């Protein structure tokens, strides 16, 4: 495993639990608004896998779970074994993913290896490539959405809302796509020196609330604002 970062305590990343967050390096997307740009192609390990598991062992009884984030964790060839090792220590596991690797995600969910999945929804299908910065197999994205919706695992979908990329009216399409979901979160874009392409802007709090209400009018009730 290429471990590019470790947050030793988070009260936010894994809803309802105290957890640590481990960041893997490498991503197959190049989202221009990405805040973790230093993880996109990094091969440097912040800590070794053995050091990480020494840390986890010392936190048994103190932490509830582990968030596995990135980058894109499902690019890691040994991600399944990594998850199993965490599970053997008795921790709950949350996985962050962009949903592009449908087959590996299916193996993980069908194997009951994680307790919570957070999948990014970048845009409406027709504009997905604009938000990802690369050409995307949108069918794999759609299959991952349906896989998660029909799984037994707890989950959320989430969109980082960028004014230049996400039109307000686009969220009617996204709401239809995610109909029946357990939870959909709108995260307001925030400017940062780490962003790949710092030309984007955020909607105001009032505008974000307008988008929230627009989505609720479509019948998707379990939608929330995060970070506002």
143 phi and psi, to 5 degrees? -65, -35
Residue 14 is predicted with a pLDDT of 96
Query: Mean per-residue pLDDT for 69-77?
Result: 95
- 39: which DSSP letter? G
Q: Any idea which residue has 């947050």 for tokens?
A: 7
Q: In sequence order, which residues have a C-beta less than 8 Å from that of residue 56 and are 6 or more positions away?
A: 20, 63, 66, 86, 89, 91
**CA–CA separation, 136 and 124 (whole Å):** 12
Residue 37 is predicted with a pLDDT of 73
Residue 191 is predicted with a pLDDT of 84
**CA–CA separation, 154 and 117 (whole Å):** 7
Condensed to tens digits (0 to 9), the pLDDT of residues 28-72 reads 999 999 887 777 766 667 889 999 999 999 999 999 999 999 989
Q: In sequence order, which residues have a C-beta less than 8 Å from that of residue 35 and are 6 or more positions away?
A: 190, 192, 194, 195
Residue 42 is predicted with a pLDDT of 60
Residue among 9, 26, 27 at smallest CA distance from 18: 9
Range of the domain at 104: 3-226
Residue 41 is predicted with a pLDDT of 67
Least confident range from 40-44, 129-133, 144-148, 204-208: namely: 40-44
Percent of the chain scoring above 90 in pLDDT: 87
**CA–CA separation, 170 and 162 (whole Å):** 12
82 pLDDT band (50/70/90 cuts)? very high
Dihedral of CA 37/39/75/151: which sign? negative
Condensed to tens digits (0 to 9), the pLDDT of residues 98-110 reads 999 999 999 999 9
Query: The domain spanning residue 41 has which CATH number?
Result: 3.20.20.70
Distance, first Cα to last Cα, the chain:
34
Condensed to tens digits (0 to 9), the pLDDT of residues 198-213 reads 899 999 999 999 999 9
Half-sphere exposure of 140 (CA within 13 A, CB side): 13
84 pLDDT band (50/70/90 cuts)? very high
Taking 80 as the threshold, does the pLDDT of residue 180 lie above it? yes
Residue among 147, 211, 194 at smallest CA distance from 202: 211
Number of domains observed in the structure of the chain: 1
**Any idea what the Cα angle at residue 75 is, between residues 69 and 78, rounded to 5°?**
90
Strands 223-226 and 92-97: unpaired
Half-sphere exposure of 10 (CA within 13 A, CB side): 17
């Amino acid at each position: 495993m290429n471990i590019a970062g470790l947050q030793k305590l988070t009260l936010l990343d894994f809803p309802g639990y105290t957890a640590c967050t481990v960041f893997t390096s490498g991503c197959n997307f190049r989202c221009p608004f990405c805040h973790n740009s230093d993880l996109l192609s990094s091969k440097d390990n912040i800590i070794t896998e053995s050091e990480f598991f020494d840390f986890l062992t010392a936190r048994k009884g103190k932490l509830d779970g582990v968030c596995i984030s990135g980058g894109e964790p499902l690019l890691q060839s040994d991600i399944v074994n990594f998850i199993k090792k965490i599970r053997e220590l008795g921790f709950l596991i949350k996985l962050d993913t962009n949903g592009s690797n449908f087959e590996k995600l299916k193996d993980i969910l069908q194997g009951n290896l994680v307790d919570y999945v957070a999948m990014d929804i970048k845009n409406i299908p027709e504009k997905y490539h604009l938000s990802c910065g690369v050409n995307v197999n949108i069918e794999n994205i759609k299959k991952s959405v349906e896989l998660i919706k029909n799984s037994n695992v707890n989950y959320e979908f989430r969109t980082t809302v960028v004014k230049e990329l996400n039109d307000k009216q686009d969220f009617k399409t996204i709401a239809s796509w995610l109909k029946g979901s357990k939870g959909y979160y709108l995260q307001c874009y925030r400017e940062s020196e780490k962003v790949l392409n710092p030309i984007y802007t955020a909607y105001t709090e009032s505008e974000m609330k307008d988008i929230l209400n627009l989505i609720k009018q479509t019948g998707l009730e379990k939608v929330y604002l995060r970070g506002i």
